[in-house]
A = this chain, B = another copy of it.
Amino acid sequence: MRALEEKIVKEGKIYEGDILKVDCFLNHRIDVEFLAEMGKEFARLYKDCNVNKILTIEASGIGVACVAALQFDPVVPVVFAKKSKSSNIGDNFYHSTVQSYTHGKTYDVIVSKDYLGENDKVLILDDFLAKGSALEALLDICAQSGATVVGAGSVIEKAYQGGGDLIRAKGVRVESLAKIKSMDTEKGIIFE
């Protein structure tokens, strides 16, 4: 999505340690009007897939998912996986584990069994896709629930980290609105 690539170049900031900060429009301040444009693109990409639920993960995924859900016809509900601090969650939850490379730790995510099941055709959305650990966890939760995953979408894929292609190799459709081929503080960002 060209407009997104231009926005990343114009408004994003690259820092040492492979960090791309886009908190000016995506994950702290949210440019909701632009989010709606991105949502339309997700809805276009998956329009023939009978999506009836969008699954995401707190916190930054929620805005992306809710605004995208409004662009589907009919509008679909969103379910967001919650980060769980407790291992004692009862038996009414699917759960899986995410490895956060940014923060150097793992955490559990949970989804209530009430809100995901075999009748669901799920699109998984998130803001970032890097090594793919969050997406793997959401796919795992969908598998546990018997839901059909029609595909996944990310706003920004750090393609050079390989997570997206790893998941595509398993046969999952993954669409990213901007795919970064390489990125550093000197040469800037090169998109695929």
Contact = CB atoms under 8 A, between A and B. Distances in A.
Given A62-B63, A66-B67, A82 B28 contact: yes
A77 B30 contact: yes
Interface residues of A, number: 31
A22 to B, nearest CB: 13
B114 A32 contact: no
What is the count of identical protomers in the complex?
2
Contacts of A31: 77
A115 B11 CA distance: 13
A137 interface: no
5 nearest A-B residue pairs (beta carbon): A58-B59, A32-B69, A29-B115, A63-B66, A33-B75
5 contacts: A29-B79, A30-B80, A58-B58, A66-B67, A67-B70
